[in-house]
Structure 1
């Protein structure tokens, strides 16, 4: 891959942000809270967040929402981003997963 000299876009540098209120509620420093989440779930914060987004997407799909609406509502850039991440974690596309649950695709 050839280096173009361009900086990566902001989406590729995005990290999980812990709201200041969360550390205030728990009494922990922000970094300690991240460590606690990582140790408690056995996942990096970004992986935990991705799994939560996929679970939320599954719930929305079961309610019959359109894939494009589900993608945006769950924090994905677009439908293809949802498809890639869903396939990575679940093993099938959202449409195939929904059809396997006996629901009509949208």
Structure 2
């Protein structure tokens, strides 16, 4: 339909390295040639997109993950009459090694189902706006896979068996307030990706899942002591009662309210 307004949702999630998130549907819009100062990580959810990058034309299908490098002009347009729908995460320039720019210019789109699923999961975590540690952990693993897939270099850090336990101690000491992945990495003198992998290998779950479990445990104790769900949620480190309820139901099969009323 001529003149149809695009559907847009954009926000700054406050996760280290993530500058902006944009979810949009365009019926007719065509982007003119332009460049970003950031990396552009995109999933196409509907339609087909054609674009020029580095004097070459490329196409994007819904099965692909696209990474456009900073400073390289590109355009974009729908390849059919029904437009396109996309999810874009703009990442700071420091998130990838400088050597990846040329590789991403040559091969900006990858047909990688595993990475596609991971980028989708990152978008879900960012959309909730309450799962910063999960988002940072997922971004670290995506960053490593993209570096490897596109021929960049990822620091080969030596694995230390105590690293996972050191991170667990940090998480245990900040159950309510939480800790940013970058802060934990700096504290432990490690790389964020290596930190996530070491923890997951040692404990069979990523750091964000461990922290959520500890918060649910704390909320259980608070509920059993008589605290109402809304207050227990905040005291346990959740954003609000619905945030607690989502995780509580997944872990315990019931709601915080029912759990509280069932206490002996």
TM-score normalised by L of structure 1: 0.72
Structure with larger Rg: 2
Of the three residues 132, 139, 143, the one matched with 1:15 is 132
- The residue that corresponds to 2:230 in the other structure is 68
- The residue that corresponds to 2:215 in the other structure is 53
SS in structure 1 at match of 2:238: coil
1:64 and 1:19 map into 2 onto residues whose CA distance is 36
SS in structure 1 at match of 2:248: helix
CA RMSD, aligned part only?
2.6
2:187 and 2:9 map into 1 onto residues whose CA distance is 40
Tell me which protein shows more helix as a share of its residues.
Answer: 1
Instruction: Specify which structure has the bigger relative contact order, considering alpha-carbon pairs within 8 angstroms and separated by 6 or more residues.
Output: 1
Q: 1:93 to 1:47 in 2, by over 3 A?
A: same
Tell me which protein shows more strand as a share of its residues.
Answer: 2
TM-score normalised by L of structure 2: 0.33
Contact kept in structure 1, 2:234 and 2:240, CA below 8 Å: yes
SS in structure 2 at match of 1:98: helix
Q: 1:78 to 1:33 in 2, by over 3 A?
A: same
Query: Equivalences for 1:1-106 in 2 at 5 Å?
Result: 4-7=7-10, 10=13, 12-13=125-126, 14-16=131-133, 17-18=180-181, 20=183, 22-23=184-185, 26-102=188-264
Q: 1:78 to 1:24 in 2, by over 3 A?
A: closer
